[in-house]
Amino acid sequence: MSLSQAIVEFIDHLHPLYIHDEIDGVTCARSLNDGTLILPLDEHEENENGLVTVHWQGDPARQTVVPGVYMASLAVARYVELRHMAENAKGTRDEMERLSHHFAVKTGESLIFEAPESGLLDLVGKAVGKVGEMAVIEILKKQVGL
């Protein structure tokens, strides 16, 4: 299994945010939030870098090729946020660490939640507390180019 395929299959198990889908015999992950479809890129082992193709809102005309770890990082962050919104920060960190480790075991890659020398997770938590979840999500989407 390619790195790209492993990343997509990891994402498609983050229920209820994503589900397994199959397009032309290719395993994909579909967002139940907005219909966005994540497909593995056909990579050769010697050039494998974990890129995925994203069809925004499921529209093949609106597609972007991005590093799969970026999509997985956003998916895990949203998954944990959804599952632990009512819990304390410790529960959220524990779940992030558990899923990050699980992702590394399944793919050999690391999820990306912060820039080097940045306390992004703490900063995002503080920002959510001050301006609200949707405002922070919109800011992150703009910064990532979504």
Question: What is the separation of C-alpha 117 from the centre of its chain, rounded to a whole number of angstroms?
Answer: 21
pTM summary value: 0.64
**Which whole number is the average pLDDT over 87-97?**
72
Tokens for 137, please give them: 């999500």
**Percent of residues, the chain, with pLDDT higher than 90:** 45
Ranges of each domain in the chain: 3-67, 70-144
Using one digit for the tens of pLDDT, what is the confidence trace for 111-127? 876 544 445 555 556 66
- What pLDDT, in 10s, does the model give residues 6-39? 999 999 999 888 999 999 999 999 999 999 999 9
Q: In what order do the strands lie in the sheet containing 51-55?
A: 18-23, 26-31, 37-40, 51-55, 63-67
- Top pLDDT among 143 and 48 is at 48
